Amino acid sequence: MTPSLTLSFPEADIALITFDLSGKGANILSLSVLGELAALLDQLQSRSVLAGLVIKSGKPGTFIAGADIREFLASLGAPKSEVVAMCRRGQSLFARLSQMPFVSVAAIDGICVGGGAELAIGCDRRVMADSPKTEYGFPEVKLGLYPGWGGTVRAPRIVGLANALEMITTGENIDPRTALVMGLASDVVPAEKLLAAAIGVVRAEKQSGQYLTDRQRWAQPIAVEPTELGFLGATASAMIQQETKGQYPAPMAALELMLETCQMPAAEAYEREAEGMASLFGSPVNAALINVFFLTDRNKRDTGLDRAGVTAANVKSVGVLGSGIMGGGIAGATLKNEIPIALTDANADALARGAKQLLEEAAYNKKLKGPDLAKTLKLAPLLAVTHRLEEIATADLVIEAIVEKEDVKKQLYAKLEPMLAPAAILASNTSTIPITRLAEGLARPERFCGIHFFNPVRRMKLVEVIRGAKTSDETVATAVAFAKRIGKSPIVVGDGPGFLVNRLLFPYMNEAIELLCDGASIKEIDRAATAFGMPMGPLTLYDLVGLDTAVYAGMVMYQAFPERVVAAPLVPAMVKLGRLGQKSGKGFFSYQNKKGRAEEDPEVEKIIATYRRGTRKFSRDELTNRLFLPMLLEATRMLDEKIVRDVRDVDLGLIFGLGFPPFQGGLLFWADRVGAKKLVEMAKPLAPLGKRFEPTPLLLDMAATGRKFYAT
């Protein structure tokens, strides 16, 4: 077996440990790798002639991407005593780095997170490469945990309690310059000078002896005034509660731990860190978030095809038809990634506005909170605004994002397709119209597919790549590769009304209207959804997407599934009254205050009253079951129809496309936790409501056999 760590001596009194896992794109800290590190430290322990040890990566652009999450997964059911022991082993190993008889320095080039960040913070000093790829952080809260190998102890003692609290409770990474200002990094240098800089730090520390003073100081409690401690705790607690709504326990657990242990000697704080980790590790939220991690990891590697050997074409230029919200967003995401883009729109004014907005968005800088002038100047030459289809037709990939009318789209394709190069791909951003139908009349239907982005494109990671009846594997592979290139998470879905996300969204939205008509209030319905973890309630969502848009989508879904879709007249009635949602200032809520925020509107209750069938009261569980069981049952039908290739595509699609709560792990992951047998029982009282609550053959079989969606 090839060693993952190698020991060398770039200078006679300098040891160098290089991490380089064979056959892996990134270094991870598995048990075997940690064992190798322990053995090398044993070797070096007695070498008193050494001035220092430098630890670096053999993979340019990546230091250590954390612990081996697969080993975490295998240990989820471990007793608490084993979890504590696992933490203590990691703590002891990394603590050795600051107890060696010489200076230890981490030379960080690229991503350094999780266990890698804890290893680095175990060293006396850190030197970082001045590169956009270099980031440092503790993202454990995103897995429902907190750092358990000494991070909650060492970080606040090195960078200060306030800085450490922000880093650990948010899980966000920092860049090298921030690390330098914070005192986490001793130096920031070009990557090619990293080793020399690290050796320079060793020399300086040996001469000054400051590292020995810091070792003693960092072993002690942190000197902090009780008033300051109380203020930090109250402020951080309020921010965490606002962000997590109490549904993610790890950030609050980390806060409480660090407020307590900062007043202890480091040795005692390590013990408390390990004990606290045992209460989080293996919890339902931890298991769910680990599932989301694996969904994302699989998606990064997925080509969108089940067969190998298909090569994706290199998209060197893109054309976008339509400069509205969606077209502009797609063009902006493409331009941001420095791919030449040609944009057109039938409306000249809309085109001018759209071009300006997308350039500003593509050049947006978070730190500046606005467009970066240098980036704007760099991207501007890559954007062509045109009224001529001939210019759009020169692109390798053309994405249509015009009005959602089938005949209008087909008329445009008829003009455009003859101008395209034979190898070019034509795609539609349609959210409802079947791709096979849109492809009728095309000379090259194999080069046509759906590439459905979600609004707002800037923030939404999901892209549905829709395969029509004649779409080729090469077209699918190219669409998937393009979506990944611009930072999106594409999933390949089969053709059909609503595709994946909208087909599963509609039963949820439709049921909210039915609940209103059965007597539930707007507040009760929305609160049931947000208590489950949805980012907003379904009635708030109606107002966001537009009630007129919902009516159109409802017609499409009713035509496709009349036995399961209830054609409720309430929403069309509100549209007739001009209540379209946020865009008209009124929907299920009123938005006519100065800040445009949602407010209850007594007029809505009068409209709803006309369509009420009853006034009964619903329990929270009843509301939750009514909202989410139709969505789950529709997902089982989609699996039977093979609309998706894998159950994981359903869960990833709903998390990234709909905001399904990550702490639930995904719709089907949640269903596995509830159990198919119980889900069938939950559906029984709802049977009188119709076929939308009728357990499917797949769910009944799973209930009978005990099988799960995540079978392996």
Q: Which residues are catalytic?
A: 452
Helix axes 676-683, 697-705, angle to 10 degrees: 130
**Contact residues for 210 (Cβ-Cβ < 8 A; gap 6+):** none
Closest C-alpha among 361, 351, 336 to residue 386? 351
CA 72 – CA 140 distance, rounded (Å): 12
Q: 144 in helix, strand or coil?
A: coil
**Contact residues for 28 (Cβ-Cβ < 8 A; gap 6+):** 21, 64, 65, 66, 67, 68, 115
**Contact residues for 70 (Cβ-Cβ < 8 A; gap 6+):** none
Q: List phi, psi (to 5°) of 282.
A: 85, 0
Closest C-alpha among 462, 325, 474 to residue 397? 474
**Contact residues for 519 (Cβ-Cβ < 8 A; gap 6+):** 612, 613, 614, 615, 616, 617, 618
Q: Judge whether 572 and 529 are in contact, CB under 8 Å.
A: no
Q: Judge whether 116 and 64 are in contact, CB under 8 Å.
A: yes
Q: Judge whether 649 and 491 are in contact, CB under 8 Å.
A: yes
Which secondary-structure segment (H or E) carries 73? helix 69-74
CA 148 – CA 275 distance, rounded (Å): 9
CA 110 – CA 664 distance, rounded (Å): 31
Count of C-beta atoms within a 10 Å radius of residue 83: 21
Q: Are strands 364-365 and 370-371 parallel, antiparallel or unpaired?
A: antiparallel
CA 514 – CA 512 distance, rounded (Å): 5
CA 379 – CA 338 distance, rounded (Å): 7
Q: 519 in helix, strand or coil?
A: coil
Helix axes 620-641, 522-532, angle to 10 degrees: 60
Q: Judge whether 100 and 299 are in contact, CB under 8 Å.
A: no
